[in-house]
Amino acid sequence: MTITDTEVTATPIASPAPTRRWRLWVAAAAPLIAALLVGSAAILWVGESPLEFFWLLVREAFGGVKRISATLVSSTPLILTGTATLIAFRAGVFNIGVEGSFVGGAFVAAIAGASLDLPGPIQIVVVLAIASIVGAAIGWGPGWLKARLDVDEVVVTLMGNFVVSGVVGWLLSEFFMAVGTGNAQTELIAPQTNLPVLVASTQLTIGILFAVVVVALAQWWLRSTVPGYELRMTGANPRFARAQGIDTARVIIWAMVISGLIGGLAGGVFTTGTLHRFVEGGGANLGFNGIAIALLARLNPIAIIPSAVVLGALSAAGPTVQLFIDVPLDIVRIMEGTIMIVAVLPLLTRSR
Amino acid sequence: MNEPSAPADTPRLEVRQLTKRFGPVVAVDHVDLVVERGTVHSVVGENGAGKTTLMKCIAGLLPPDSGEILVDGKTVRIGTVHDALALGIGMVHQEFSIVGELTLAENLVLGVEPRHRGLLDRKAVQRATERLAAQTGWRLQWEAPADQVGVADLQRLELLRQLHRGADLLILDEPTAVLGPAEVDMLLGTVTELRDRGVTVLFISHKLDEVMRISDRVTVLRGGKVVETTAAADTSAAALAEAMVGEALTVPDVEDRPSSSDETILEVQDLVVVDEIGVTRVDHVDITVRRGEIVGVYGVAGSGQAELAAALVGLAPSSGSVRLGGQEINHRPVGYRRRAGMGFISPDRRSEGLALTESVEENGLAGAHRDRSLSGRVVRRRPEWRRRIADLIRSYSIKVGSPDDPTSSLSGGNQQRLVVGRELEMHPKLLVASDPTRGVDIEGVAGIHELLMGIRRSGGSVLLVSHDLDEVLSLSDRIAVMLDGRVTAVLDRAEATRSLIAEKMTTGSRG
């Protein structure tokens, strides 16, 4: 430790609250505004009307029960991976590995769902529990390395994603390929493993309820519990946390375990609620997109839901909009990309 | 190097009545300074005496509020580092700014790369290194990557960089703070060699023996003002120390001090702290604090007192024995020590004492947050938190909008009162208070002193580590003086005079 001659610094005076709130709103809306501007420019470029396009987008995303259901189906895994990312980020741990937990969870849920045969709801609970535990284990490794050996978590989790998808791909092709298919996919899970459908003749399952409950739990846990408080203090200033007696190494490991657990659950819900089997490449990037969701929500749990719904709406409505207007699907992808880039900007400029 | 454009007897640098304020604090107060060409001129003073601020004004890093700077007899305005360099003034900071993967030669020219058709002109780089070698007589491994050479060579590289950019007045800001003893010797040799080759050096340090070894002249700053400027030959380390610590502003207040009890609260034996780069910062220290006693720890900055405090709290690994109320707590984590009754006021309020982005409430109850009165096993009792922070804000007169406001919205003095209040409300058996009044205005200082005396009156104990001798003298029952990581003397309040402390902090029992 080196003690430097710290000079007296001018005391900061808080800017008046209204200004700060106003700034907060602008910062929160910036990714959306940027996406609308970039999207409009691209649509004008191809010679169509942005207004008509956006109107169609809103109609296809939210016009009627079926459309809303489709949007929520797309949003469900994003809410969960966004929350998973948020927990780690709030602890000051830049976990890029929710993707790995998601893929691991999705895979083991498919294996367990196809090989177990327990009565109804118990089967679902057991399968999701297994997926969560595997996800948690995938988060634990980098957490332990960071907390005990000070290994950079960004590199480990990013590389860990490739390890997980490599291992899963190998297990799949070697042991778990569905019989009589050329695709890299597992057998369908047992029927009682499928999450109950919430709205008849749609794909919307109780998975969305799980997601909302997880968000509510995360909010409560961060705000109202002692471990949640210690996690936030560690993320805000680890030196301060340590000086106040918080075991920051433990906090970091637990943050990674919980982040991985929610990521694994997200994979489990995706398998049991959407694909009903594991397909290699299915659900790819849902874990990564959780980073954008968490940042779009400015690490506020409740804001995860609208953020995920916006991106879910784009990905659900995008493909059908082009049936009505001569605008390529790529425009929607451009808008998604813009949202993510602008949302991730603070992460890139953040001093770590 | 710059051609001297003035007669040889014109001072290389002259500062007249320079003043710099930060808010209400006057960091540099009408300072006059004359630096002759080709000399080593040291500026010494306690932490916060204004040394670094003054140097930053000269090097173009801070704009002075008033006063004049003359270079070679001409009044100049130094607004940027470039302005300073154009006048031949270069500042070398404590932390190296070196790219480990690049060679020494590449580091030398980094930022001012000679180019040939857009690429690095290797021949010009070589000419530069040869010219510097001729100028200084130093041989560096110019083609070695910087992360493979020793710290002393890196420090030389930093000096050469400034010379390469045309500086012939070097400002060295506590250059020895990061060095081990052998490297310190090398650096001091280096500085002398440069001086002999016509370079002017402004040397900032609190290490008085180093200052005595290399300086031609010495200026002592205290509280932002020049106390004295003398030829090094006419003074001694002890005399400088006395000038640094100054006359007593008030007669230490001996008031009603019932003798503290005989019960030992803290017993430290054979404590050793070695930092990450292998330098021994605390060297076999023994210290005891009794119930109802304030023990001051004093020494020039960097003598190991900050590391001692960090080790006691559990923030720096150490060997030896630390007993709190008879219970061995060394090798226990911070949380355990806090629960065992240790409180801590960090010297670094902004980066360790508080989480500035978080709310006043969450800062003010940190450390107590697991108390059964505030939280169950898992769930925090939020209404109880709200009540406790309201009490704390009231009891310690903290000016705050709402407990939910970020702590950064508080003024420095209010932030410090929040820290002190937080620690006192945990009723520690022993409070380790490290520079508890740093950056607090005079009124705030008196309030914090009163609180520390209050702990003593109610039978608590304080280990007061401070860079302010007045503070140490007026509050302490006993004073431990540190030098080079060792305790050179433990003086009773009655025998602790300024001159005795000045002697112990510079010579002590060094063999």
Cβ burial of B34 (10 Å; 0-12, 13-18, 19+) is middle
The pLDDT of B191-217, averaged and rounded, is: 88
Distance of alpha carbon B225 from its chain centroid, rounded? 18
The pLDDT of residue B3:
47
Beta strands B280-290 and B461-465, pairing class: unpaired
On average, the pLDDT of chain A sits at 87
Mean pLDDT of all residues belonging to chain B = 86
Q: Which domain holds residue B222?
A: 13-240
Spell out which residues of chain A touch residue B94, defining contact as CB-CB under 8 Å: 2, 4
| Cβ-based contacts under 8 A for chains A and B | 131
Q: In this structure, is residue A297 part of a structural domain?
A: yes
Beta bridge partners of B489: B481
Q: Does a structural domain hold residue A88?
A: yes
Name the closest residue on chain B to residue A15, using Cα atoms. B409
Q: How many CB atoms lie within 10 A of CB A11?
A: 18
- Assess if residue A16 is contained within a domain: no
Nearest to A78 by CA among A215, A175, A196: A215
DSSP code, position B374? T
A23 domain-assigned = no
pLDDT band at A348 (very low <50, low <70, confident <90, very high): low
Task: Please indicate whether residue A5 or residue A28 has the higher confidence score (pLDDT).
Answer: A28
In a domain, B371, yes or no: no
B142 in the same domain as B37:
yes
Beta carbons within 10 angstroms of residue A95's beta carbon: 34
pLDDT at position B50 is: 84
Residue B378 is assigned to a structural domain of this protein: no
**Claim: this prediction has a pTM higher than 0.90:** no
pLDDT band at B5 (very low <50, low <70, confident <90, very high): low
More confident residue, B251 or B441: B441
Tokens 């994979």 appear where? Answer: A267
Place of tokens 């500086």: B167
B187 & B327 share domain: no
Measured in whole angstroms, how far is the alpha carbon of residue B23 from the centre of its chain? 21
Is position A15 within any domain? Answer: no
Indicate whether B422 belongs to any domain: no
pLDDT of B101: 84
Q: How confident is the model over B152-172, as a mean pLDDT?
A: 87
Range A183-222 burial, b when 16+ CB lie within 10 A, else e: ebbbbebbebbbbeebeeebbbbbbbebbeebbeebbebb
CATH number of the structural domain spanning residue B102: 3.40.50.300
SS (H, E, C) B467-490: CCHHHHHHHCCEEEEEECCEEEEE
- pLDDT of amino acid B249: 47
Residues of B with Cβ-Cβ distance to A239 under 8 angstroms: 348, 351-352
Domain boundary, last residue among B191, B207, B240: B240
Please judge whether A5 and B25 are an interchain contact, meaning their C-beta atoms are less than 8 angstroms apart.
no
Does some domain include residue B311?
A: yes
Q: Pick B477 or B300 by higher pLDDT.
A: B477
* Same-domain check for residues B163 and B208: yes
pLDDT band at B94 (very low <50, low <70, confident <90, very high): confident
Residue B363 above 90 pLDDT?
A: yes
Domain identity same for B129 and B273: no
Domain membership of residue A113 (yes or no) is yes
Using CB atoms, pick whichever of A10, A224, A233 lies closest to residue B355: A233
Number of domains into which chain A is organized: 1
Supply A160's token pair: 């860990």
| CA dihedral of A346, A6, B312, A246, whole degrees rounded to 10 | -20
| pLDDT at position B190 | 84
Could you give the percent of chain A with pLDDT greater than 70? 92
Q: Do B232 and B271 sit in the same domain of this protein?
A: no
Q: Is residue A136 part of a domain?
A: yes
Q: How far apart are CA B308 and CA B285, in angstroms?
A: 9
The mean pLDDT of B422-449, rounded to a whole number, is 85
Q: Cα–Cα–Cα angle for A189, A195, A201, nearest 5°?
A: 105
Residues 222..251 of A with a Cβ closer than 8 Å to B: which?
A: 224-227, 229-230, 232-233, 236-237, 239-247
Same domain for B150 and B287, yes or no, is no
Spatial separation of the C-alpha atoms in residues B376 and A233, rounded to whole Å: 18
A261: closest CA of chain B, how far (Å) = 19
Q: Are residues B97 and B25 in the same domain?
A: yes
At B453-472, the pLDDT tens digits run: 888 888 889 999 988 788 89
Which residues contact residue A195 at a Cβ distance below 8 angstroms, ignoring those fewer than 6 apart? A124, A205, A206, A207, A269, A272, A273
Is residue B35 in a domain? Answer: yes
The model's confidence at residue B1, banded by pLDDT at 50, 70 and 90, is very low
pLDDT for res B7: 63
Q: Does A226 sit within 8 Å of B408, measured CB to CB?
A: no
Asked whether residue B489 is assigned to any structural domain, the reply reads yes
Q: Identify whether residues B287 and B323 lie together within a single domain.
A: yes
Q: Which of the two residues, B333 and A27, has the higher pLDDT score?
A: B333
pLDDT tier at B176 (50, 70, 90 boundaries)?
confident
CB burial readout B95-127, b (16+ within 10 A) else e:
ebebeeeebbbbbbbeeeeeeeeeeebeeebee
- Is the pLDDT at A12 greater than 60? The verdict is no
Asked whether residue B232 falls in the same domain as residue B269, the answer is: no
CATH of residue A154's domain is 1.10.3470
Q: Are strands B327-328 and B319-324 parallel, antiparallel or unpaired?
A: antiparallel
Whether the predicted pLDDT of B257 surpasses 50: yes
Q: Is B312 helix (H, G, I), strand (E, B) or coil?
A: helix
Q: How far is A242 from chain B (nearest CA, A)?
A: 7
B301 closest CB neighbour out of A3, A237, A245: A3
B258 located within any domain: no
Q: What is the DSSP letter of B147?
A: G
Chain A: residue nearest B369 by CA? A226
Instruction: Look at residue B221 and tell me if it is in a domain.
Output: yes
Q: Indicate which of B380, B389, B408 best probes the interface with A, i.e. most A CBs within 10 Å of its own CB.
A: B380
Average pLDDT over residues A53-71: 90
- Whether pLDDT at B248 is above 60: no
Asked if B67 and B183 sit in the same domain, the reply is yes
Tell me if B338 and A4 make a contact (CB, 8 A cut-off): no
Residues of B within 8 A of A13 (CB-CB) are 409, 411
pLDDT at A78 over 90: yes
What is the residue range of A104's domain? 30-349
Q: Which amino acid is at A27?
A: A
Do residues B231 and B274 both lie within one domain?
no
Is B379 within 8 Å of A224 when comparing Cβ atoms? yes
Cα angle for residues B196, B198, B200 (degrees, 5° grid): 100
pLDDT reported for residue B181: 66
pLDDT tens digits, residue range B99-116?
888 889 998 888 888 888
